[in-house]
A and B are shown apart, each in its own frame.
Chain A
Amino acid sequence: MLQFILVQNRQGKTRLAKYYTPYDVRCWFLIDQFLDRGLDDEKVKLKGEVHRLVAPRDQKYQSNFVEFRNFKIVYRRYAGLFFCACVDSNDNELAYLEAIHFFVEVLDTFFGNVCELDLVFNFYKVYAILDEVFLAGEIEETSKQVVLRRLEFLDRLE
């Protein structure tokens, strides 16, 4: 099962962050009143950790899997973007690698040769696409056509 999906660029700027398990977001009103700290401390820390783990890895000589806490990160780099999926340690890494690629292919067809800027300006659409491919941390649809047709309908409804 997916724990979270992160898309980060080489500088560590997050372009997409989706969590399928809660990552310690504490009682917001408490933090608001008494602490002058960010709400999502844990998530910020996590993003930094993932970036430091993944970014320096060699593309050619190293595998696309890194152990992370009790999980594994399966990542793949497309141009300047790292697509990282954190999965359970007994999950099939190769299949998730393929799933990442599937997601990127959908993005590519949807935006027509996708680039980082597409993700920046249309981030809410990216989230919508993600929700059509993964749900509750599991892959939901494996046909590109079905996903794209669905997205088309949804956009027409707006």
Chain B
Amino acid sequence: MSSLKSFIKSVRAAKTMADERAVIQKESAAIRTSFREDFTDTNLRRQNIAKLLYLFTLGERTHFGQIECLKLLATSKFSDKRLGYLGTMLLLDENQEVLTLVTNSLKNDLNHPNQYVVALALCTLGNIASQEMARDLFTDIEKLVVTQNPYLRKKAALCAMRIIRKVPELEERFVDKAKSLLGDHHHGVLICGMTLAYDLCVEQPNLIPQFRQFIPSLVRQLKSLTTSGYTPEHDVAGISDPFLQVKILRLLRVLGRGDQSATEQMNDILAQIATNTDSSKNVGNAILYETVLTILDIDADSGLRVLGINILGRFLGTKDNNVKYVGLNTLSKVVELEPNAVQRHRNTILECLHDADISIRRRALDLSFDLINEQNVRVLVRELLVFLETADTEFKANMTIQICVAADKYAPNKRWHIDTVLRVLKLAGNYVSEQIISQFIALVSNTPNMQLYTVQKLYSLLRSDITQEGLTLAGAWIIGEYGDELLKAGTFEDEETTLEVKESDIVQIFEGLLYSTYATQTVHEYVLDALVKLSIRMSDPSQIERIRRLIMSQTTALDVEIQQRAVEYAELFGFDDIRRGVLEKMPAAVIREDRKLQPEKKAIKSVTRVASQPKSETDILLDLMSGGFDDMPQSSAVASANGDLLSMALGGGNFPPLPTSPSLTNGKANGQTTGNTSDLLADVFGGSPSTASAQPQANGQQQSINDILGLFSTQASSTSASASAPVSPPMQISSPTLTQTLNPPVVNPAGGQTYPSYPAYAQNGLTLTLQPIRDGTTPAGVVNILASFTNTGSIPLNHITFQVAVPKTQHVELRPISKADLAPGESASQAVRVSASVGAQVRLRLRVSFGKGGGGEEIVEQVLFNQFPADLLAS
């Protein structure tokens, strides 16, 4: 057997990883054999354990030495004991069963006459005590916390903390002990006492009032630390025991929180520390930082709070990145509480956007967005737009959303709003989500007096740059829609000179877009839509012919969506009498508050569909309520609904309520303002959402529209063009198409795991039960739920609609109800499909609405349903 030193040397001498492994394995084997063979030689055992610890540090397997460690610590020789305890602390942790074997040795050693042996036991207890050990040994600790020896006292104090963390009900045994420690003269004991007291107060807030009586003495201690001058024992860079100062400040924080008189007692000392501490070194800043946290957490007066925030502001101005980092972190925590004080440091925060450290840039960016309000929106957004140009790629997507949200919320006027979004599109058009574009389009369509300006702007922007996808999409749509105004008024080079725009120029641009290398599939789709619309906005037959040829050229496109559009639009040229009608201008889109863009914190990776991630539970309800079926499943509604959709899709007619797919429509009872027109616009005219495949519903919806369009073209030719558009396709054709595409999964109640039916609602003559169904074919994390409705009353119920919301981490799909009007005694059913992560608890928020009798009262009920077994999605 080699010595520890030679073992380490040979490990280090190994040239390759393989060599090293060989050396380690050989030694490891030797240690095992030695453990098995030599029972008596403690020297050998000590050497082995020492090697084992080296192996542990290297990350090797060491469990076989656990018992040997225990043997070693049970011996009487100090050096053996020391190594034994050291090994125990490293090789074992509180979850190991072997640990129970240590308890007895610990108990003996805690009462050992030699203080160093006691210290070893305390140290082990403090580091790895399990719940069981804590219960067995707390009486010894109780004694040691008040022993004469400060060396043991401080260790015992931390052991007490560990014991209380493991077994909270033991705390009362230590409350008085902790109090006695707070007045100790020894710094080490004091610091441990503070830690213990802090832990007690945090774990058990009802103890805080008891500890408040110590505030004056804590304040005195703090004062003497800050004014004592040089103390060689505890000096760190000219500051007397900064660690203790930090601990006292932290304890004051819990004691002062929410108590006026406690706060008043510490105001002075906090102000004193905040003004007098030297901030040139890290130590000083650590204290300042802790002071600021305390000031902001307790009910300090406003002057002090401003002082605190100013310190943070000063942190941002330093060269030290660490200090900047904590400053920004803390500011973003308090920006909501002290908006005005934080505002004052706006410029410093903006400077941090250009810091060399990306994590500082990120924090500064988040904070900048938090700072935006009505007064400073112009200044801040201007700065942020400047930053957007040079920002890290990973920031851009989120920034575009945040800027657009801010513009939407605080825009001083429409012109500014439109300018801002245009700038975003110009600078980061490749990073914007479809949501931004559809919001923008909705904004423009709602602002008639800005339409000309916007179309002019976009026209000149597109002439100079077609590389930004977002800009191209918005430009294509807007020019397609309002191209006639552009033709009438011309464009402008600067503010004054207007230039005439020829029809050929516009077609030229679109031709360029269509064949550019930057054109994505979505761009193609938008361009096709724009071209077909322009065909009625232009008058020159030669240009119209050119448009037709361009569209024809896409009828052989490889992408089926583009090809289909091209074929349909080309076909449309054959029906001049209806073409004009269907390609009329779109009515102004309805902008709904709850469909607006929502900023997503840290939305760096995926920002698409960000708007469908609402913030609060209630929003979830509104948003995820798959209530699109409000009018869809009811037989009579379907035909007209499809008609509406059709007219919508082609831009004709009024803007009727939109029956749409569940992913888009929210559950407003009558579908009155089935907003998200913008979404639909984007979907209908913009083609597939960029992440369509990820969202089955989006897919379904997309397809259903295609189906309708498909229907339309065949329908139109076969019915020999009835005079006016839109044509309503017969319901029996479209209805199955819709439902099929909306809900591909077919629920199979037979076979598979059966669960009981859970009653969810039984009032007003309606009984609703939910039965989860999972069979072998159900994917993991998905459950089909069969909702059964029974009319148990004596009057007919009609227009039953059933909506389900789930937490935003989960996903719900609804099929239409089998029968929306129930005569007494009749039943109906509806299938719901919930997808969540495996093992998640399925909790539903249900909303049922129905009318009683013919035109009787309307009943709307909401219930929270969480009676499903917790293991429903377990596999």
Residues of A within 8 A of B (CB): 13-20, 22-23, 25, 28, 31-32, 38-40, 43-44, 47, 58, 61-66, 92-95, 97-99, 102, 120-121, 123-124, 127-128, 131, 135-136, 138-143, 145-146, 150, 153-154, 157-158
Q: A16-B57, A128-B86 are in contact. List 12 more A-B contacts (CB 8 A).
A: A38-B59, A63-B324, A94-B289, A97-B282, A98-B242, A131-B86, A131-B127, A136-B159, A136-B162, A141-B154, A146-B188, A150-B151
**CA of A13 to CA of B360, assembled, Å:** 29
Q: Which of A14, A66, A128, A150 contacts B59 (CB 8 A)?
A: A14
Q: How far is the CB of A97 from chain B (nearest CB, A)?
A: 6
Which residues of A have CB within 8 Å of B54?
A: 123
Once the chains bind, are A98 and B236 in contact (CB under 8 Å)? yes
Task: Tell me which of B154, B286, B326 contacts A98 (CB under 8 A).
Answer: B286
Q: Are B243 and A157 in contact (CB under 8 A)?
A: no
Which residues of chain B are within 8 angstroms of A23 by Cβ–Cβ distance?
93
A123 contacts B57, C-beta separation under 8 Å: yes
Given A97-B282, A99-B243, A142-B188, check contact A135 B82 (CB 8 Å).
Answer: no
DSSP majority for the B interface? helix
In the complex, B463 has a CB within 8 A of chain A: no
Contacts of B289 in A (CB 8 A): 92, 94-95
The listed residue (B50, B161, B243) touching A136 by CB distance below 8 A is B161
Complex interface: chain B residues within 8 A of A142 (CB)? 187-188, 191, 234, 241, 243-244
**Among candidates B57, B116, B155, B356, residue contacting A14 with C-beta atoms closer than 8 Å:** B57
Interface residues in B159-202 by Cβ distance below 8 A to A read 159, 161-162, 187-188, 191-192, 195
Query: Which single member of B83, B191, B286, B290 contacts A97 (CB below 8 Å)?
Result: B286
**Provided the pairs A94-B322, A102-B236 are in contact, do residues A25 and B95 lie with their beta carbons within 8 angstroms?**
yes
Contact B283 A98 (CB under 8 A): yes
A140-B155 contact in complex given A63-B359, A64-B322, A127-B86, C-beta closer than 8 Å: yes
State A62–B159 Cα separation when bound (angstroms): 37
Whether the pair B62, A39 counts as a contact (CB closer than 8 A) is yes
Determine whether the beta carbon of A47 is less than 8 Å from that of B116.
Answer: no
Q: Which residue of B lies closest to A26 (CB)?
A: B95
Residue among B83, B234, B243 facing the most chain A CB atoms (10 A cut-off): B243
Pairs across A and B, CB under 8 Å, 8 listed: A39-B62, A65-B326, A95-B286, A128-B86, A135-B192, A140-B188, A146-B188, A157-B79
Contacts of A61 in B (CB 8 A): 321, 356-357
Q: How far is A98 from B282 in the complex, measured between Cα atoms in Å? A: 7
A-facing residues in B57-105 (Cβ within 8 Å): 57-64, 66, 78-79, 82-83, 86, 89-90, 93-96
CB pair B321–A153 under 8 Å, yes or no, is no
Q: Are B188 and A93 in contact (CB under 8 A)?
A: no
Measured CB to CB, the nearest residue on chain A to B87 is A124
Indicate if B126 sits at the interface (CB-CB under 8 A).
yes
Separation of A150 and B115 alpha carbons in the complex (Å): 11
Chain A neighbourhood of B359, CB < 8 A: 62-63, 66
Do the beta carbons of A153 and B116 come within 8 Å of each other?
A: yes
Q: Which residue of A lies closest to B195 (CB)?
A: A138
> Bound state CA distance, A123 and B54, in angstroms?
7
In the complex, what distance in Å separates the CA atom of A2 from the CA atom of B246? 16
Known: A64-B322, A94-B322, A97-B286. A32 touches B78 (CB 8 A): no
**Does B5 contact A95, Cβ atoms closer than 8 Å?**
no
Q: B321 to A62, Cβ gap below 8 A?
A: yes
* Most B C-beta atoms less than 10 A away, residue of A22, A25, A141: A141
Instruction: Verify if B547 is at the interface (C-beta below 8 Å from A).
Output: no
**How far is A66 from B359 in the complex, measured between Cα atoms in Å?**
9
Interface residues of B (CB under 8 A from A): 5, 8, 12, 50, 53-54, 56-64, 66, 78-79, 82-83, 86, 89-90, 93-96, 116, 122-123, 126-127, 151, 154-155, 158-159, 161-162, 187-188, 191-192, 195, 233-234, 236, 241-244, 246, 250, 282-283, 285-286, 289-290, 293, 321-326, 356-357, 359-360
Chain A residue with the shortest CB-CB distance to B315: A94
B64 / chain A contacts, CB cutoff of 8 Å: 32
Cβ–Cβ contact A63 & B357, under 8 A: yes
Minimum CB distance partner of A74 in chain B: B322
A20 touches B127 (CB 8 A): yes
Q: How far is the CB of B203 from chain A (nearest CB, A)?
A: 12
User: Once the chains bind, are A39 and B158 in contact (CB under 8 Å)?
Assistant: no
Q: How far is the CA of A124 from the CA of B285 in the complex (A)?
A: 34
Contact A63 B82 (CB under 8 A): no
Closest chain A residue to B9 by CB distance? A121
Interface core residue of B50, B57, B192 (most chain A CB under 10 Å): B57
A56 nearest CB across to chain B (Å): 12
B residues within 8 A CB of A22? 93-95
Name the distance in Å between A109's Cβ and chain B's nearest Cβ.
14
Instruction: Give, as a whole number of angstroms, the nearest-CB distance from A124 to chain B.
Output: 6
Cα–Cα distance between A141 and B766 once the two chains are bound (Å): 70
For the complex, what is the distance from the CA of A92 to the CA of B58, rounded to whole Å? Answer: 30
Task: List, in ascending order, chain B residues with CB within 8 A of A58's CB.
Answer: 356-357
Docked-complex contact A28 and B79, CB < 8 angstroms: no
Distance, CA A98 to CA B123, complexed state (A): 23
A87 to B89, CA, bound (A): 20
Q: Which residue of A lies closest to B356 (CB)?
A: A61
CA of A32 to CA of B62 in the docked complex: distance in angstroms? 11
Chain A residues within an 8 Å CB radius of B246:
92, 95
Q: In the bound complex, how far is the Cα of B363 from the Cα of A62, in angstroms?
A: 13
| Complex alpha-carbon distance, A62 and B324, angstroms | 10
Q: With A47-B59, A62-B321, A120-B12 in contact, do A157 and B53 touch (Cβ < 8 Å)?
A: no
- Contacting A138 at CB < 8 Å: which of B89, B94, B158, B187? B158
* A139 and B191 in contact, given A38-B60, A102-B236, A124-B83 (Cβ under 8 angstroms): yes
B191, A140: Cβ atoms closer than 8 Å? yes
**B290, A17: Cβ atoms under 8 Å?**
no
* Contact B5–A98 (Cβ < 8 Å): no
Q: Are A135 and B243 in contact (CB under 8 A)?
A: no
Given A61-B357, A62-B359, do A97 and B322 touch, yes or no (CB 8 Å)? Answer: yes
Give Cα A94 to B286, complex, Å: 5
Known contacts A25-B95, A124-B50; is-contact A65 B57 (Cβ 8 Å): no
Q: Are B192 and A138 closer than 8 Å at their CB atoms?
A: yes
- A135 partner, pick from B127, B324, B356, beta carbons under 8 A: B127
Let me know if A127 and B90 touch, CB within 8 A: yes
Closest Cβ of chain A to B687, distance in Å, is 39
B324 engages A92 (CB within 8 Å)? no
Q: What separation, in Å, do the CA atoms of A121 and B3 have in the docked complex? A: 12
Q: Is the pair A95, B357 in contact by a Cβ cutoff of 8 Å? A: no
What distance in Å separates the Cβ of B10 from its nearest Cβ neighbour in chain A? 13
- B187 near A124 with CB under 8 A, answer no
Determine the chain A residues whose CB is within 8 A of the CB of B242 once the complex forms: 95, 98
Residues of B within 8 A of A123 (CB): 53-54, 57
Least Cβ–Cβ distance between B76 and chain A, in angstroms: 13
Closest chain B CB from A144 CB (angstroms): 8
Residue of B nearest to A39 (CB): B61
CB of A39 within 8 A of CB of B63, answer: yes
Contact of B360 with A63 in the complex, beta carbons under 8 Å? yes
User: What's the minimum C-beta distance from A27 to chain B, rounded to whole angstroms?
Assistant: 8
Q: How far is the CA of A25 from the CA of B78 in the complex (A)?
A: 29
Residues of B within 8 A of A13 (CB): 58
* Chain A hits for B58, CB < 8 A: 13-14
